[in-house]
Amino acid sequence: MSHTQTNSNTATRNGLYHDANFIADEWVSVGDGSFNPVLDKYTGHELARLPNATEEQMESAIQAAVAVFPSFSRWSAGKRSARLDRLADLISEHKDELVALIVEEGGKPLSYAQNEIGRCITTVRTAAAETLRFGGETVPLDFGAGEGRIAFTTRHAIGPIACITPFNFPLNLVLHKVAPALAVGCPVIVKPAPQAPLSTMALATLIKKAGYPAGVVSAMACDIPVAEKMVKDERMAMLSFTGSDKIGWYLKSICGKKRVALELGGNAAVIIDESADLDAAAKTVAVGAYIYAGQVCISTQRIFTVGKAHDAFQAALVKEIAKLKVGNPKDADVLVGPIIDKGHLERIESWVREAIDGGAELLTGGKIVDAEHNLFEPTLITGATGDMKVNCAEVFGPVATIENVETFDDAVRRANESNYGLQAGVYTNDFSHVKQAHAELEVGGVMINNAPGFRIDSMPYGGVKDSGLGREGLKYAMEDMTEPRLLVY
């Protein structure tokens, strides 16, 4: 394998990453002859050009993962925990560089990127702590035919994990796959999003520096056929995918017998009833709908107001939207930065235009602010029908709809009229509505008096229907990456 040389441009930010893939502990600067250019999402400046890996290089990564698995999986819990703590230390030491990288390659507003790095450190620290308390259980057998016997389970790593990650949390969503795998002793191969792969490469640098053996982590840019080789290969024990529902379900169909976890996004609903604090709700809903230009799978997209709450809440929300600053993500007070690329910018504009042409009413926003920098106005629409894309699909942009319904029952029914079911928000001070929402909303999580985008990294996170399969969150992912083995004597 060929090593790349460090140069002086931003693509080697203090040696954190290179114009290369990380394959079995080596930086490899030669691929199939094509390249994946990584751009600053606001300026368009090229940050790096990663070579697209070949099938032979993917085979090398798989072979290395398979080879290291027997020894890595036998590391003691104490050793695995200590090594994760070392990795968390390294992320903390490089947090300023990592924040700057996320702002550039992801177009993420500065404050939100700082929040992501804080979460990354928490994710790895939590994995280190879970490693020490993660285990099996005692199984009661001392009755009937089992009388006099003792039984218990231990947890055993299943093998190498194939990880495919999105652009919007280019480090923390990688860590939601890598950290639990390292916690239980599973090697990983990571295929990051082509729009923002450099944070993954920086993580690979820190993993190497933390002292993990060759083959425990490989990370590479590659075209679809090479990624599908990893997905299909029987030596990979599990596929962990975060991205679009269309791609996720397709990958599940081709991955064979391996275990699968899918986190596929949605069009999250919020309900505001008449008992809610409407001004407080408007502030958090505005942030929940438009932070990072809505490019979050649990961004608030569909808003349902109940009865007399509508007029006051809608007016308060429009005022809060007007306060949001759109612009350069490096500016500390910007909340709404660039759309990830021109294609998505044009798609969002066409979806809004489709709704307005179809009879929906534009309350605010609705147009491209700055095409050169991929900026789109925070947009609020009312009167959109259920078959309009701004309602039935995942916009993944700074667009939300708002509708008034007569009763809380109506709001729950409307929220459930979706192919997705990731998380929902309910603003209420009526505890009967809290109980009803928890019982009836068809989602993986219900956030009370908060937007659907609330997430703590240790909680079980995932959805139902087209929003996915399985749960992330450190302990829950660790369970997916291990098998219980029973001993009876």
301-344 tens-digit pLDDT: 999 999 999 999 999 999 999 999 999 999 999 999 999 999 99
Which residue among 26, 263, 349, 377 is the active-site one?
263
**59: its two tokens:** 């085979």
Is the model's pLDDT at 14 over the cut of 70? Answer: no
Q: What is the pTM of this model?
A: 0.95
Range of the domain at 79: 10-264+467-488
The answer to whether position 461 is within a domain reads no
pLDDT of 13 > 90? The answer is: no
What percentage of the chain carries pLDDT values higher than 70?
97
In a domain, 286, yes or no: yes
In a domain, 5, yes or no: no
Residue 82 has pLDDT above 60, yes or no: yes
Looking at the fold, whether 257 and 332 belong to one and the same domain comes out as: no
* Pair (193, 63) in one structural domain: yes
The domain spanning residue 97 has which CATH number? 3.40.605.10
Say whether 297 is catalytic: yes
Mean pLDDT, residues 211-216 taken together: 98
What digits encode the pLDDT tens for the residues 401-438?
999 999 999 999 999 999 999 999 999 999 999 999 99
**Mean pLDDT lowest for which of 9-23, 159-173, 290-304?**
9-23
What's the pLDDT score for residue 12? Answer: 57
Instruction: Read off φ and ψ for residue 292, nearest 5 degrees.
Output: 55, 35
Do 249 and 324 fall within a single domain?
no
pLDDT, one tens digit per residue, over 446-473 is 999 999 999 999 999 999 999 999 999 9
Contacts 24+ apart (CB under 8 A), 317-321: 317/282, 317/285, 317/286, 317/380, 317/402, 318/363, 318/364, 318/380, 319/282, 320/282, 320/283, 320/285, 320/286, 321/286, 321/290, 321/364, 321/365, 321/378, 321/380
| Confidence tier at 283 by pLDDT (50, 70, 90) | very high
Which helix (H) or strand (E) is 189 found in, with range? strand 188-191
Model confidence pLDDT, tens digit, residues 110-143: 999 999 999 999 999 999 999 999 999 999 999 9
List, for residues 223-265, the tens digit of each pLDDT value: 999 999 999 999 999 999 999 999 999 999 999 999 999 999 8
- The whole-number pLDDT of residue 11 equals 41
Predicted pLDDT of residue 4: 38
∠ CA 140-145-151, nearest 5°, is 30
Return the pLDDT at 6.
35
Cα within 13 Å of Cα(2), Cβ side: 9
At residue 7 the predicted structure's pLDDT band, cuts being 50, 70 and 90, is very low
* 114, two tokens: 């700082």
pLDDT at 75 > cutoff 70: yes
Among residues 120, 186, 255, 297, the one annotated as catalytic is 297
Q: In total, how many domains does the chain have?
A: 2
In-domain check, residue 2: no
**In a shared domain, residues 93 and 171:** yes
- Cα separation, 83 vs 213, in Å, equals 11
Same domain, 216 and 158: yes
Phi, psi of 85 (to 5 degrees): -60, -35
Q: Tell me the mean pLDDT in the region 287-291.
A: 98
Residues 306, 388 within the same domain: yes
What percentage of the chain has pLDDT greater than the value 90? 96
Q: Are 267 and 392 in contact (CB under 8 A)?
A: yes
Q: Are residues 48 and 109 in the same domain?
A: yes
Same domain? 20 vs 72: yes
Q: What is the pLDDT of residue 115?
A: 98
Q: What is the CATH number of the domain that holds 390?
A: 3.40.309.10
The DSSP-derived string for 70-108 is HHHTTS-HHHHHHHHHHHHHHHHHTHHHHHHHHHHHH--
Beta bridge partners of 217: 188
Pair (78, 149) in one structural domain: yes
Mean pLDDT of the chain: 96
The yes-or-no verdict on residue 2 having pLDDT over 70 is no
Confidence of residue 15 (pLDDT cuts 50, 70, 90): confident
What's residue 216's pLDDT? 98
Q: Residue 462 falls within a domain, yes or no? A: no
pLDDT band at 67 (very low <50, low <70, confident <90, very high): very high
Q: Is residue 30 part of a domain?
A: yes
Specify burial of residue 96 (Cβ count, 10 A radius: 0-12, 13-18, 19+): exposed
> Is 4 inside any structural domain?
no
pLDDT at 398 over 70: yes
**Residues 258 and 341 occupy one common structural domain:** no
Verify that 322 and 227 share a domain, yes or no.
Answer: no
- Chain centroid, CA 82 distance in Å: 26
On whether residue 450 sits in a domain, the answer given is yes
**What confidence tens digit (pLDDT) does each residue in 333-377 have?**
999 999 999 999 999 999 999 999 999 999 999 999 999 999 999
215 with 256, same domain: the answer is yes
